[in-house]
Each structure stands twice: as structure tokens, then as C-alpha cells.
Amino acid sequence: MKSALLYRYMPRYSTKVMDHFTNPRNVGVIEDADAVGRERNPACGDTMTLYLKIRDGIIVDARFQTLGCTASIAVSSVTTELVKGKSLEEARMIDRHCLGDAVDGLPPGKTHAGVLVADALKAALGDYKTRAAPDTA
Amino acid sequence: MKDYIYLDHAATTPVDPRVVEAMLPYFTERFGNPSGVYTLSQSSHGAMEEARETVADVLGCSPGEVIFTGGASEADNAAIKGGAFAMRREGNHLITSAIEHHAVLHSCQALDDYGFETTYLDVDAAGLISPEDAAEAVTDRTVLVTIMLANNEVGTIEPVADISRAVKERAWALGRDIIVHTDAAQAGGVLDLNVDRLEVDMLTLAAHKFYGPKGVGILYIRDGTPFTPQQHGGSQEKNRRAGTENIPLIVGAAEALRLAVEEQGTNNEHCTSLRDRLIDGLVGRVEGAYLNGHRTLRLPNNANFCFDGVAGESVLLGLDMEGIAASSGSACTSGSMDPSHVLTAMGVSAERAVGSLRLTVGKSNDGEEIDKVLEVLPRIIQRLREVSGAAQPVG
Ligand SMILES: Cc1ncc(COP(=O)(O)O)c(C=O)c1O
Ligand code: FES
């Protein structure tokens, strides 16, 4: 990364964050998704939509669209990799701490990007439950 | 070409080598405390008074009306609190605008605890403050009005003289006198700083915005203006700002201002042409790109945009990776999550304000650098829009 100037106000991101920011994995929409989770942080305005494809209780595909800062894009990207192949139970265990660790940590002031993505994941899993049992929702 | 392209001159500027040259002797050989009686001290004292005269020439005032401070923030604090406290028997009301720098806004807010109240004037979509609104806000309790000469985020130039005349006439009609202060930190070496033409009683400058050193500011206080010093101690600056004067920085500030004013015409022309190249190259060419601020009543160095479908912070990182330094909103606010208070006051929606980008040019930028930005930036925006799902054709 040819970073000539990093300012005080520019958080120092880990190599992993910069990697996922520069080359985000699994960007886009799953048209026939089995679950969709959308979250917006009203303070900073960052918005994430997570699409999941689920087969026999296993997440087989994940895609995302994120309008946000470097951290929220990178955590979104890492999350899609993280959840693929996981069971719904395993996915439910993923919280903002796991997501922060998955990008080798977020700078102070940027940890709420992990919250945004964790909330979008939670929303997607909730959406799946609702779709599976609409009456009890 | 340099190894990076610096487009954040509104945040700060590099010190002009001629200014460094002028400052150097005052760190080492001529280090004397200007309060002493011996020759060494007198040399420091002389340099300081010469600096004061240089500044006074630019402001069109007498040297005794110029105080050197530790920056524009200190000058703003001193002016607002110092003016308000000195007038506390006359009233407790201040008027400012919603788009001031935090040094002004937070100074006004700090006065809430001492029984003062502040009216924050609205601005129009271009960031302009109306003199009529300002006059209407004057009450029989108003003691001080502070309005910036030019906005640091969007570059809008405010009609300070008209505002000053309007509020003073209104105050006189109410049988009272009020203090008018302007934060001219973004206008040093760029706009006319004559305090009589601006019709102000106090004015703030920061040397590091016009190729001078950081940590030194200038506060003009018109003779006869009520002022309660905010820093107590020795009798420096005629009891208005205690503390051993920072001679090298003071010399640097004055030399920087002198040079900036001397070269103002050339620099303004140069910056205006680069600024317009940026604006014309982005607005109308990139889908979902909007110019913030006034198209013509704006600082020659300032181009500020919103781009739909991206977050400014990501654009900054993308630019930084290409060796381009820019900012989103104001450097001081970038640490916070909230949308820029300036854009919000101008009626820009929170959604749109997320995608703001400020590019501020300077005397060392050239057309080649601007062309590089015009080539790189639309690509970054396009890429981020693919990630956000707001992809729109660019170009
Ligand atoms: C309009 C305005 N006022 C005040 C300041 C504060 O200047 P300093 O940080 O030098 O105290 C700035 C600089 O960011 C500014 O742009
Ligand atoms: S700035 Fe809030 S999540 Fe990125």
C-alpha cells in the first residue's frame, strides 16, 4: 500500500482491513436469498445489507452491499467469508468481538463497524427464522 | 512530480522556506526573553514589535491592537469569552452562525454555564448568512456577534461587513453598543483583511493556514473594545495575554502574512484556476456529484463535494492509497461520527453528507496533479459504488 500520508484522524487500519477494503470478497446481491439483513447506523450513516443462502441449516453462500467507511466494508467482506459453511447455530455465536478479531482488530473509534455488521448478521438470521415460521413471528 | 499530492490546505499548509529562514535566528542566537533590559532581549523585543507592525499594516490598524496567541482557537476563545465577560453588565446574549468552527461554537456553548445565551443563525443552501437575519437576532441583551469571514469546510465567503453594519445599526437603535468579531482563519493572505472595511472590532488569524508555522495566531482587538483577558500572569501583550512571547513563531507568522499578502493576487489566480478545474471536472461529469457551498462566493482554494453512494472516509482512504491527501468535512470533525454540522446546517441530508469530500488546493499544486485526481477519483467512486450497490455510470 502506497500510503504517503496517514493523518491523526485517519485510523490506522490493520493489513487485513486494508486487504478486504481494497479487494472486498462476495460483493453483491443474492437474488433468491433465503435471508436478508439490513442495518444502518443512524449516527454515521453506514449501511450494510447481508444476503444469505441457506441449505439444511448451513450457510452455503453470503454476499453483501455496504455503503460505509473502510472498516465497515472490510468487516462486511470478512463476515461473508466467515459465515460460509457455518451452521445457523454457529453463525448465531458470531458477535462484534469475533468480527473485530477476524480483521486483526479495529482502531479505536471504529469498533462500531463491527456492531453494524454483527447487527446485520443477526437481522439476517432473524429474517430466516421469520420466513421459516411466519406464524410465530 | 512529488511523491504525494497534497490537497488539504484548509487543514494546514507547509511552512514557506523563506518563513523558516526568517524564524531560525530566533531559536538560537537571538533567543532572549523580550522582557529583559539587555541588548539580547531588546533584539527579540524589536523583532516582535516589527512583526506586530507588519501585521498591523495588513489589517489597517495600529500595532497596539494586535495580540499574538497560540493559534486561532486561542484567539477565538479569547475574543468571545473576553468580550462577553467584559460586557456582562450590559447583557448576556451572543449571536453566531450554525456553521462556525468549533473554536467559536464551543466557546459560545461554554458561556452557557456563566449565564450567557447564544443564537445560532441559520444559513442558506450555499452556506450564506443573511445580514437581515443577524440584525433581527439582536436584542437589548446582545453583547457580541461572531461570524466567520470564510467557512473552513465549504469555503463560502460571508458578507461580514454587511452583517456588522446591520447588527450595529440595530444595536444602536436599541441604544447599545455591541462587539463584532470575525474568525478570518481561512482568509489570511486570501481575502481583504482590512478591519475598517470589514467593520469588525476583533479578528482572528492562524499563521499555519498561510504557509506560516502552527501554534501561533493573531487576535486583533480594536482600541476601546471591552476585553477581559482569559490568560493571567505577566504583563505581556499589554496585560491581554500573559506568557513569554514565542518570538520565532511570531516572527514567522508576520513574515508568512507579509509574503501571502504580497503574493495574494498570483496565488489566488493560481488556486482559483485549479479549483475550477476540479469542480468542472467532477460536477456534471461524475453522476451523483454535487458541489457544496457557493459557486462564486467561495475561497479560491476550496472545492467541496458530495458523492452519492459512497462514504467520504472510504474515498479518503482510496485517495491516500494513490498518494493523494484530502479530507472529508473538516479535519477537526473527522474524528467524530456525526455528519458535518456545516453541511447539516446547509440542508444537506444525512445520507448525502456521508459522501462528502473536501479538496483544498495551494500554491504548490499544479494542473498535472489536478488531472491525476480527476483520473483517479471517479475510479475510486465507481469501485465504492459497486460495493455499496449504488453503482452508477461514471464519466
Ligand atoms: C475557521 C477556523 N477557525 C479556527 C481554526 C483553529 O485553528 P487552530 O487549530 O490553529 O487553533 C481553524 C483551523 O482549523 C479554522 O479553519
Ligand atoms: S463510520 Fe460508522 S460504521 Fe463506519
Instruction: Quote the pLDDT of residue A4.
Output: 38
What residues of chain B, 6 to 65, have a C-beta less than 8 Å from chain A?
A: 6
Secondary element (H or E) of residue B67: strand B66-69
What superfamily does domain B5-13+263-388 belong to in CATH? Aspartate Aminotransferase, domain 1 (3.90.1150.10)
Asked whether the beta carbons of residue A21 and residue B314 sit closer than 8 angstroms, the reply is: yes
Type of residue numbered B338:
D
pTM metric for this prediction: 0.93
Kindly indicate the confidence band of residue B392, based on its pLDDT and cuts at 50, 70 and 90. very low
Instruction: Quote the pLDDT of residue B289.
Output: 97
Concatenating the DSSP letter of every residue in B141-183 gives TEEEEE--SB-TTT-BBP-HHHHHHHHHHHHHHTT---EEEEE
> Which residue has the least CA distance to atom 3 on ligand 2?
A113
Asked whether the beta carbons of residue A5 and residue B325 sit closer than 8 angstroms, the reply is: yes
**Residue B330 DSSP class:** -
In angstroms, the Cα distances linking B394 to A11, B204, B282, B321 are: 28, 42, 10, 20
Distance B74 CA to ligand 1 centre (A): 9
Average pLDDT over residues B361-369: 97
Cell of A14: 490493520
Instruction: Quote the pLDDT of residue B329.
Output: 63
pLDDT higher than 60, residue B125: yes
Chain B CB contacts of A1 under 8 Å are 321
> Which residue has the least CA distance to atom 2 on ligand 2?
A44
Instruction: Quote the pLDDT of residue A102.
Output: 96
pLDDT higher than 80, residue B36: yes
Chain A CB contacts of B4 under 8 Å are 4-5
- Please tell me the distance in Å from A119's CA to the nearest CA on chain B: 17
Pocket-testing residue among A110, A111, A115, A117, ligand 2, by greatest number of atoms within 8 A of Cβ? A110
Distance, CA of B338 to CA of B348 (rounded, Å): 13
Cell of B226: 471591552
Instruction: Quote the pLDDT of residue A12.
Output: 84
Asked whether the beta carbons of residue B354 and residue A67 sit closer than 8 angstroms, the reply is: yes
What residues of chain B, 371 to 390, have a C-beta less than 8 Å from chain A?
A: 384, 386-390
Burial of B73 by CB count in 10 Å (0-12 exposed, 13-18 middle, 19+ buried)?
Answer: buried
- Residue pair B184/B257 in contact (Cβ under 8 Å)? The answer is no
**B68-89: pLDDT as tens digits:** 999 999 999 999 999 999 999 9
Domain ranges of chain A: 13-131
Chain A CB contacts of B7 under 8 Å are none
Average confidence score pLDDT of chain B: 95
Q: Are strands A47-55 and A58-67 parallel, antiparallel or unpaired?
A: antiparallel
Kindly indicate the confidence band of residue A123, based on its pLDDT and cuts at 50, 70 and 90. very high
Average pLDDT over residues A7-33: 87
Asked whether the beta carbons of residue A3 and residue B351 sit closer than 8 angstroms, the reply is: no
Q: CB under 8 Å to B122, separation ≥6 — which residues?
A: B97, B98, B133, B345
SS3 B93: strand
Give me the half-sphere count of Cα atoms (radius 13 Å) on the Cβ side of residue B148. 32
Note the helical H segments in chain B: 17-23, 39-59, 72-86, 102-110, 131-137, 160-173, 195-198, 236-239, 247-262, 264-282, 312-321, 341-345, 350-353, 367-388
Tell me the sheet residues that pair with A40. Answer: A47
Burial of B138 by CB count in 10 Å (0-12 exposed, 13-18 middle, 19+ buried)?
Answer: buried
Q: According to CATH, where is 3.40.640.10 located in chain B?
A: 17-262
- Could you tell me which residues of chain A have a Cβ less than 8 Å from any Cβ in chain B? 1-7, 9-10, 13, 21-22, 24, 27-29, 41, 43-47, 49, 65-70, 72-73, 109, 112
Query: B392 CB near a chain A CB, below 8 Å?
Result: no
Distance, CA of B91 to CA of B147 (rounded, Å): 19
- Please tell me the distance in Å from A136's CA to the nearest CA on chain B: 32
**A100-121: pLDDT as tens digits:** 999 999 998 899 999 999 999 9
Assess: ipTM above 0.95: no
Instruction: Quote the pLDDT of residue A3.
Output: 40
Instruction: Quote the pLDDT of residue A5.
Output: 43
Distance, CA of B336 to CA of B321 (rounded, Å): 22
> Which residue has the least CA distance to atom 14 on ligand 1?
B11
Distance, CA of B194 to CA of B161 (rounded, Å): 11
Among candidates A4, A29, A68 on the partner chain, residue whose Cβ is nearest the Cβ of B4: A4
Type of residue numbered B289:
A
pLDDT higher than 50, residue B361: yes
Among candidates B314, B321, B386 on the partner chain, residue whose Cβ is nearest the Cβ of A27: B386
Concatenating the DSSP letter of every residue in chain A gives -------TTS----HHHHHHHHS-SSBS--TT-SEEEEEE-TTT--EEEEEEEEETTEEEEEEEEEES-HHHHHHHHHHHHHHTT-BHHHHHT--HHHHHHHTT---TT-THHHHHHHHHHHHHHHHHHHHHSGGG-
CATH topology of domain A13-131: Sufe protein. Chain: A (3.90.1010)
Tell me the sheet residues that pair with A53. Answer: A61
Asked whether the beta carbons of residue B331 and residue A7 sit closer than 8 angstroms, the reply is: yes
Task: Select from B310, B341, B382, B333 the least CA-distant residue to A72.
Answer: B310
**B159-205: pLDDT as tens digits:** 999 999 999 999 999 999 999 999 999 999 999 999 999 999 999 99
- Return the higher-pLDDT residue of A43 and B193: B193
Cell of A45: 450513516
Instruction: Please calculate the CA angle B222-B224-B229 and round it to the nearest 5 degrees.
Output: 80
Picking from A5, A17, A20, A40 by the largest number of B CB atoms within 10 A of its own CB, the best residue to mutate is: A5
Q: According to CATH, where is 3.90.1150.10 located in chain B?
A: 5-13+263-388
Chain A CB contacts of B354 under 8 Å are 44-46, 67
pLDDT higher than 90, residue B335: no
pLDDT higher than 70, residue A132: yes
Q: What burial letters (b/e) apply to A44-72, b meaning 16+ CB within 10 Å?
A: bbbbbbbbbbbeeeebebbbbbbbbbbbb
**B42-54: pLDDT as tens digits:** 999 999 999 999 9
Among candidates A1, A7, A67 on the partner chain, residue whose Cβ is nearest the Cβ of B388: A67
**B252-273: pLDDT as tens digits:** 999 999 999 999 999 999 999 9
Ligand 2 environment, Cβ below 6 A:
A 41, 44, 46, 68-69, 71-72, 112-113, 116; B 337
CATH architecture of B17-262: 3-Layer(aba) Sandwich (3.40)
End-to-end, the C-alpha distance of chain B in Å comes to 25
Asked whether the beta carbons of residue B317 and residue A10 sit closer than 8 angstroms, the reply is: yes
Annotation says B332 is catalytic: yes
State the sign of the Cα–Cα–Cα–Cα dihedral A73, A78, A80, A81. Answer: positive
Asked whether the beta carbons of residue A43 and residue B322 sit closer than 8 angstroms, the reply is: no
Ligand number, closest to the Cα atom of A41: 2
Q: What burial letters (b/e) apply to B201-226, b meaning 16+ CB within 10 Å?
A: bbbbbbbbbbbbbbbbbbbbbbeebb
Tell me the sheet residues that pair with B180. Answer: B145
Chain B CB contacts of A74 under 8 Å are none
**B212-268: pLDDT as tens digits:** 999 999 999 999 999 999 999 999 999 999 999 999 999 999 999 999 999 999 999
Among candidates B350, B389, B390 on the partner chain, residue whose Cβ is nearest the Cβ of A45: B350
Share of chain B above pLDDT 90, in %: 94
Chain A CB contacts of B323 under 8 Å are 2-5
Q: Would you state the torsion angle of the CA atoms of residues B374, B377, B383, B386, taken in this order, to the nearest 10 degrees?
A: -90
Distance, CA of A52 to CA of B101 (rounded, Å): 45
